[in-house]
A and B are shown apart, each in its own frame.
Chain A
Amino acid sequence: MPGKAPWKMAVGATAIALLAAGCGGGGSDDASSTSNTVVIGIGEPQHLIPSNSTESNGSEVLSSLFYPLVDFDAQNKPVPVAAESITPNADNSVWTVKLKSGFTFSNGEPVTSDNYINAWNYGAYGPNAQEGAYFFEKIKGFGDLQSEDPDKDGPKKAPEPKAKTLTGLKKVDDTTFEITLDGPFSGWESVMGYTAFYPLPKAAWKSEGVLADGFEDAIIGNGPFKMKGKWEHDSQIVVEKNPSFKGTVPKVDGITWKIYQDQQAEYADLVAGNVDVQTTIPIESLSKASADLGDRFKKSPNSGFGFIGFPQYLPEYKDLRVRQAISMAINRQEIMDQIFLGSRTPATSFVSPVVAGYRENTCGDNCKYDPVKAKQLYTEANGPKELKITYNADGGHKAWIDATCNQIKATLGVNCVGVGEPKFSDMLTKAKAHENIGLIRLAWLMDYPLMENYLGPLYSTTGSSNYYGYSNPTFDNLVKAGVVAKTSEEAIAKWQAAEDILAKELPVAPIYTQQNVFGYSTKVNNVTVDLFQKVDLYKIEVVG
């Protein structure tokens, strides 16, 4: 029967296909449910080289692999951890770091001053294009490690920078080194708590200043855990206890950093018990989180601060009364309750509550919902009839921007529309070109817990995130005076004075401060999430 042959083939092929599909994978499910290890969900890190890792996913993984020079206590004051001592000179411009002796990398290499100096030089060197390069800006000689494009955007290659190493880093002996800053900075110790300041072992280098191929995928650190196998991109990173680690020993024996592309998928796994900790529960799942997780659904402060900027290059916002009216027209509490379901809190100051020197309600009446006064001010100032707020559509901001616009519309009686640019970069391009994009939605996460980390980047004339062009020389000088101040109290006084100027001039309307909304499975206990959205790996433990 010739007619039969294709059928047999088809059935056979189907069977083989199903078999192949079914048997292709599997077998990777190790018995993690019985051992003393936890699974923590993250997104795919962009990089795992410390100086190149500025987003929370990468720095969270690195925090398990590295032991920082300083950590922060409950008051956000720096505490030496891998360092024995960190001492400044009289004017806080030269800092001497003495390392604890006996520490090793997980490959057995002792941790020495050179490991820090080489890693930092690599991070600061312009052509390496490290994301965290700006952390080294304050160290002497940083400028010589950068090169400038001879023909902006042209095809000509930029020349090599003048120097390859920072003149401000000096080795004293194997466990001591000196950092010379460009000028005095009393808060430098806090800065060194960041991911970019981790050391790298000798094994990291192919030659001087060149990373070995594949080092990033199997990175070696000086921390409580070491990588087991390699970074399985988009899938997971498994770390296990480093037996030779001399510092504070965590209570768990290992962590699987499970990588999710989507927070809702992660939440599904959290409820199903496939992941133990989710540090950020997405807003779509918040309404059912209490019911799903009970008291395993928690909140804790983090450094996120969201606001709406008034572009100074647009004439319609020049009048202070217009800015005040818009800020007063927004009912922040209602947005927090209705849109964010209580996961964020209304902002009433220009810095986040998590930094030392924060004072409540510095914004005063300007951030208080007052429809009558808002309307009155707006009419007096003859504010624009059309308002728009530009936001990036890929960040989940549409709901609250639209709500804000509706409130403004209702209060001021003018038209207000939310305009979504596809991506943050599209919005920036337009802002930088001084196009009329109306008000701008922006937010800030701190790098180190100092008021200066909000005031400097956000409001000073040359601030890296000052996209609305606010500029006030008195303010700039006060921020700088705080930086060079002898003590942190003195610094805070200067910075608070600077913040008072913001309250008067209102370059932005503060809207919300963020919180960590996290959840964990029944398998784990003692879960805390810190200001940097990281799980405290030294406290978390497995139940039973």
Chain B
Amino acid sequence: MFRYIVRRLLQMVLTFFGATFLVYALIFANQNDPIQALAGERPITESQRLALTQRYHLDEGFFMQYWYYIKGLLTGDFGTSLTGRKIGDMMVDAWPVTARLALIAIVIAAVFSVTFGVYSAIRRGGLFDNLSLVVTLVLLAMPIVVIAPLFQLIFGIQLGWFPPTATRDATFWQLLLPAIVLACIVIAPEMRVTRTSVVENLRADYVRTARAKGLTRMRVIWVHVLRNSLIPVITLIGVDLGSLLAGAIVTEHVFNIPGVGFNLARAINTEDGPLVVGFVSILVILFLFINLLVDLLYAALDPRIRYE
């Protein structure tokens, strides 16, 4: 187990550098005139252009620029954004609120999809099962750019149940609506997978055995069947983290949450290379860790799985 984790961690280092290099190269290829992009439609004087170009090494080649970036990164310095702010500070500002948002969304999605998935599996072919099939299809068909403003309009403005926007130090209440929106994009697949998996396991031999032993129906389903059905669901939740963070770009924009998604969108818009790479690097690390965690969870769920 220990050796397995160490091996995975070492792989992560490679993946991390590969990913930052790729992202940096993509941004560099896309970079046209970041100074003008930052100024928008305002004219820029020659001497201002000159000073900024030299300050951010924009006139040097790709490898030199990447070298400056990595050099800073290895000393714990994420560099400076083109607006002059320390990227490290921006991350400290942005990450907590996005982390809370994503966490609430994951929990909502997991709780709802597992409960409803199991329930519709038990009552397969019933009213609830068919109804949930329709609802999940609708959710799957709606992209987040539609769901987010729609929910804001209905629940935030017209019904007034939730505050229409949130801030950096948002309360749980303020984050609930955006989190529900985020959860919507992952809830449908998670629920369908749970249902299928439970349906399969309900026919397994061990279920018959458990019933024959005289265990209660609840115990058979919620302990024996569910535990064995969760492996594909857990995998899916791990992968879904990626969709959640991609969805956060839209959700944070609509609900005015100054988190990671917002900073990424702004950075891409202003061709701010170091800022994009900074945030993406952390995203990559996070993604790698979550997947390691998911793999380790398999062992907890299925005693047959051992890591060497």
Please give the residue numbers on chain A whose beta carbons come within 8 Å of chain B beta carbons, in ascending order. Answer: 3-4, 6-7, 14, 17-18, 20-29, 46-47, 54-55, 126-131, 133-134, 146-149, 153-155, 157-158, 232-236, 259-262, 264-266, 268-269, 271-272, 274, 392, 394-395, 423-426, 428-429, 442-443, 457, 464-465
- Alpha-carbon distance between A134 and B47 when the two chains are bound, in angstroms: 10
Let me know if A233 and B93 touch, CB within 8 A: yes
The interface residues of chain A lying within 8 Å CB-to-CB of B88 are: none
Contact of B269 among A18, A149, A233, A394 (CB under 8 A): A394
The interface residues of chain A lying within 8 Å CB-to-CB of B143 are: none
The interface residues of chain A lying within 8 Å CB-to-CB of B266 are: 261
| A-contact 0/1 string along B23-56, CB 8 Å cutoff | 0000000001110111111110111101111110
The interface residues of chain A lying within 8 Å CB-to-CB of B89 are: 233
Which chain B residues in 225-263 approach chain A with CB under 8 Å? 227, 252-256, 258, 262-263
Supply 21 A–B pairs (Cβ within 8 Å), ascending by A: A18-B104, A18-B107, A21-B104, A24-B100, A25-B100, A29-B171, A46-B38, A47-B83, A54-B42, A126-B48, A129-B55, A158-B54, A233-B90, A234-B168, A236-B167, A262-B253, A266-B256, A268-B165, A269-B164, A392-B41, A425-B271
Let me know if B172 and A424 touch, CB within 8 A: no
Interface-lining segment among B72-80, B128-136, B155-163, B284-292: B155-163
Kindly state whether residue B111 has any CB partner on chain A within 8 Å.
yes
CB closest residue in chain B, given A126: B47
Let me know if B45 and A232 touch, CB within 8 A: no
Let me know if A425 and B33 touch, CB within 8 A: yes
- Alpha-carbon distance between A144 and B40 when the two chains are bound, in angstroms: 28
- Alpha-carbon distance between A154 and B57 when the two chains are bound, in angstroms: 11
Among B100, B153, B170, B256, the most chain A Cβ lie within 10 Å of the Cβ of B256
- Alpha-carbon distance between A392 and B33 when the two chains are bound, in angstroms: 14
Decide: A27 near B169, CB < 8 A? Known: A21-B103, A268-B152, A268-B164.
yes
- Alpha-carbon distance between A260 and B36 when the two chains are bound, in angstroms: 22
Kindly state whether residue B18 has any CB partner on chain A within 8 Å.
no
The interface residues of chain B lying within 8 Å CB-to-CB of A6 are: 227, 300-301
CB closest residue in chain B, given A49: B84
CB closest residue in chain A, given B64: A155
The interface residues of chain A lying within 8 Å CB-to-CB of B85 are: 233
- Alpha-carbon distance between A142 and B96 when the two chains are bound, in angstroms: 46
Please give the residue numbers on chain B whose beta carbons come within 8 Å of chain A beta carbons, in ascending order. Answer: 32-34, 36-43, 45-48, 50-55, 59-60, 83-85, 89-90, 93-94, 96-97, 100, 103-104, 107, 110-111, 149, 152-153, 156-157, 160, 163-165, 167-172, 175, 223-224, 227, 252-256, 258, 262-263, 266, 269, 271, 300-301
Let me know if A133 and B59 touch, CB within 8 A: no
The interface residues of chain A lying within 8 Å CB-to-CB of B48 are: 126, 129-131, 133
Let me know if A26 and B41 touch, CB within 8 A: no
The interface residues of chain A lying within 8 Å CB-to-CB of B255 are: 265
The interface residues of chain A lying within 8 Å CB-to-CB of B60 are: 155
CB distance from B138 to the nearest CB of A (A): 24
Contact of B156 among A7, A147, A268 (CB under 8 A): A268
CB distance from A112 to the nearest CB of B (A): 28
The interface residues of chain A lying within 8 Å CB-to-CB of B300 are: 6
Decide: A26 near B167, CB < 8 A? Known: A14-B111, A129-B52.
no
Let me know if B40 and A424 touch, CB within 8 A: yes
Let me know if A157 and B39 touch, CB within 8 A: no
Let me know if B45 and A26 touch, CB within 8 A: no
CB closest residue in chain B, given A426: B32
CB distance from A395 to the nearest CB of B (A): 8
The 10 A-B residue pairs whose C-beta atoms are closest, nearest first, are: A22-B172, A234-B258, A425-B36, A464-B43, A126-B47, A129-B51, A26-B171, A25-B169, A268-B164, A146-B47
The interface residues of chain B lying within 8 Å CB-to-CB of A426 are: 32-33
CB closest residue in chain A, given B254: A265
- Alpha-carbon distance between A264 and B253 when the two chains are bound, in angstroms: 10
Let me know if A428 and B36 touch, CB within 8 A: yes
The interface residues of chain B lying within 8 Å CB-to-CB of A29 are: 171
Among B54, B93, B262, B271, the most chain A Cβ lie within 10 Å of the Cβ of B54
The interface residues of chain B lying within 8 Å CB-to-CB of A233 are: 85, 89-90, 93, 258
Let me know if B41 and A235 touch, CB within 8 A: no
Contact of A127 among B51, B160, B254 (CB under 8 A): B51
The interface residues of chain B lying within 8 Å CB-to-CB of A260 are: 165, 256
Let me know if A7 and B258 touch, CB within 8 A: no
CB closest residue in chain B, given A394: B269
CB closest residue in chain A, given B171: A26
The interface residues of chain A lying within 8 Å CB-to-CB of B41 are: 392, 395, 424, 442-443
CB closest residue in chain A, given B85: A233
Let me know if B258 and A261 touch, CB within 8 A: yes
Let me know if B37 and A423 touch, CB within 8 A: yes
CB distance from B42 to the nearest CB of A (A): 6
The interface residues of chain A lying within 8 Å CB-to-CB of B149 are: 264
